[in-house]
């Protein structure tokens, strides 16, 4: 036993940590996870079975994978595709076309992309020739010529499927689904979307050609499962070069997951969202604090990362305002309280502010009106106040109606933490009658 251990490579601590960082960063940023989708075994099996039937037997299929953002839709699909491509009877047999609604914003671009990925005859090098109509006719001809027994099946994956439904007349969707319904080249259409009502977006003729097969990825893991997921994501694989370091690290990860304060942080995170993307962000922030002097993730790191993740952006912005701008925000708050959410204009705010200056203020000196206008405009640039009717040039800017985009409690909380806030301003904010 001791002989085998001595054969292991012992890297210096810096080297090890660099390896750890590289490995874990690939997981969190580049989505190369050590395990497949977590808790979606039945969906995985279903999708694999379906695509195998297309690939092997030439059966045309269409399916939608629906789930919230960061639920693992692309990961599931990629996993299935990888498994599929490893099968011998499939590898040579299938053509893959990957489209994304973000990139292919209209059907013309999508058609060109399809012909390019299929390497059809009108592609020279990387350029595609022909107009939209020519391309469509050409593509349909090519797909129609085939039949179930002889031609290679084509697998279409449509990322951001809901965006394809916004194309004009939904021509692409109609044609793809039409091919999948008729006895032409076998195709499988896999759509990925985060909209649960995606079927309502489809036209009737498109909808009737869709097989209505949906795979829902709604996370059903409880907190224990979530914790196990965290542990799995942080563990080093057994083929890590320095075995002893990996064991230490894994022990540290286990200890972290059992720690009470770390658990509290993770539970808070779990309560706000179950998706793995936001978890990766948290872990990434915690991981970035791992250095040679601090060679493991401590609960304190996790706490700090969670603090960074959940800090209130608007409060941060409010803390950076000058006293004058803060006074204007308070005046607007009072106007909101008195007139119950009615929009207001600059004159009213200035009036309110002047009342405060006359009656109460000792610390804030009198500002000229143009200076106050400048402060008001800065608030508008920060989008803390929003004009009611779009920027109309015709009305004077003093009389343009605006709305405050801040909450009562947000203002009060920000005021509590505001550095060196004058007491009379604070009192003015708390007094019910401006």
Segment 188 to 227, residues that bind other proteins, using CB under 8 A = 194-195
Site for other proteins in 220-259 (CB under 8 A): none
CB of 363 to other proteins, least distance (A): 9
Residue closer to other proteins (CB basis): 220 or 313: 313
CB of 284 to other proteins, least distance (A): 6
Instruction: State the Cα–Cα distance between residues 410 and 294, nearest whole angstrom.
Output: 36
Residue closer to other proteins (CB basis): 255 or 382: 382
Pick from 319, 359, 408, 417: which binds other proteins (CB under 8 A)? 319
Pick from 30, 168, 204, 362: which binds other proteins (CB under 8 A)? 30
CB of 50 to other proteins, least distance (A): 24
Residue closer to other proteins (CB basis): 50 or 285: 285
DSSP class of residue 294 equals B
**83-91, 208-216, 237-245, 310-318 -> range binding other proteins (CB under 8 A):** 310-318
CB of 258 to other proteins, least distance (A): 26
Instruction: State the Cα–Cα distance between residues 287 and 24, nearest whole angstrom.
Output: 8
Site for other proteins in 384-403 (CB under 8 A): 394-396, 398-399
Site for other proteins in 60-99 (CB under 8 A): 69-70, 74
Instruction: State the Cα–Cα distance between residues 75 and 65, nearest whole angstrom.
Output: 11
Pick from 10, 11, 21, 140: which binds other proteins (CB under 8 A)? 21
Task: Tell me how many residues contact other proteins (CB under 8 A).
Answer: 72
Closest CA to 429 of 315, 360, 331, 363: 331
Contact (CB, 8 A) for 9 and 42? no
Pick from 293, 358, 409, 423: which binds other proteins (CB under 8 A)? 293
Query: Helix, strand, coil: what percent of the chain each, to 5?
Result: 60, 10, 35
3-state secondary structure of 120: coil
- 14 belongs to the binding site for other proteins (CB under 8 A): yes
Site for other proteins in 92-131 (CB under 8 A): 100-105, 109, 113, 126
CB of 394 to other proteins, least distance (A): 4
CA 231 to chain centre: 22
Instruction: State the Cα–Cα distance between residues 51 and 187, nearest whole angstrom.
Output: 10
Pick from 182, 208, 288, 416: which binds other proteins (CB under 8 A)? 288
Site for other proteins in 324-363 (CB under 8 A): 324, 345, 347-348, 351
Alpha helices in 146-203 (DSSP H): 161-164, 171-181, 198-201
Site for other proteins in 132-151 (CB under 8 A): none
H helix count then E strand count, the chain: 22, 9
Under the phi-then-psi rule, with left for phi > 0, alpha for psi from -120 to 50, and beta for the rest, what region is 420? left
Q: How many CB atoms lie within 10 A of CB 131?
A: 10
Instruction: State the Cα–Cα distance between residues 330 and 425, nearest whole angstrom.
Output: 9
CB of 371 to other proteins, least distance (A): 6
CB of 184 to other proteins, least distance (A): 26
Structure tokens at 247: 């064991």
3-state secondary structure of 279: helix
């Amino acid at each position: 036993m001791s002989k085998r251990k001595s054969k292991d490579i012992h890297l210096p601590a810096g080297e090890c940590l660099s390896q750890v960082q590289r490995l874990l960063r690939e997981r969190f940023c580049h989505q190369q996870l050590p395990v497949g989708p977590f808790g979606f075994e039945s969906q995985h099996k279903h999708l694999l079975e379906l695509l195998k039937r297309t690939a092997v037997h030439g059966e045309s299929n269409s399916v939608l994978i629906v789930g919230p953002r960061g639920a693992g839709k692309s990961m599931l699909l990629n996993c299935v595709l990888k498994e599929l491509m490893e099968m011998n009877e499939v590898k040579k047999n299938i053509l893959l076309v990957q489209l994304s609604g973000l990139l292919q914003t209209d059907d013309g671009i999508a058609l060109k992309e399809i012909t390019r990925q299929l390497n059809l005859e009108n592609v020279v090098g990387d350029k595609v020739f022909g107009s939209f109509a020519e391309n469509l006719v050409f593509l349909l001809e090519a797909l129609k010529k085939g039949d179930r027994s002889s031609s290679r099946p084509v697998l279409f994956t449509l990322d951001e499927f809901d965006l394809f439904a916004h194309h004009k007349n939904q021509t692409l969707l109609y044609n793809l689904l039409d091919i999948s319904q008729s006895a032409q080249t076998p195709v499988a259409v896999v759509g990925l979307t985060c909209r649960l009502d995606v079927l309502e977006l489809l036209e009737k003729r498109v909808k009737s050609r869709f097989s209505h097969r949906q795979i829902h990825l709604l996370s059903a893991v409880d907190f224990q499962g979530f914790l196990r997921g965290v542990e799995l994501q942080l563990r080093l694989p057994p083929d890590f070069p320095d075995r002893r370091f990996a064991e230490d690290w894994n022990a540290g990860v286990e200890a972290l997951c059992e720690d009470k304060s770390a658990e509290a942080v993770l539970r808070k995170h779990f309560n706000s969202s179950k998706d793995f993307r936001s978890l990766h962000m948290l872990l990434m922030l915690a991981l970035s604090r791992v250095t040679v002097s601090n060679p493991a993730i401590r609960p304190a790191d996790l706490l700090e990362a969670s603090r960074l993740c959940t800090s209130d952006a608007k409060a941060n912005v409010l803390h950076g305002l000058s006293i004058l701008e803060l006074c204007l925000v308070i005046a607007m708050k009072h106007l909101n309280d008195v007139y119950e959410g009615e929009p207001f204009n600059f004159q009213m705010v200035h009036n309110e502010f002047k009342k405060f200056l006359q009656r109460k203020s000792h610390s804030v000196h009198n500002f000229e009106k143009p200076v106050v206008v400048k402060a008001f405009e800065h608030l508008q640039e920060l989008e803390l106040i929003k004009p009611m009717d779009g920027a109309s040039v015709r009305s004077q800017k003093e009389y343009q109606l605006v709305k405050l985009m801040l909450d009562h409690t947000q203002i009060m909380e920000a005021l509590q933490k505001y550095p060196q806030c004058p007491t009379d301003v604070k009192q003015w904010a708390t007094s019910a009658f401006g």
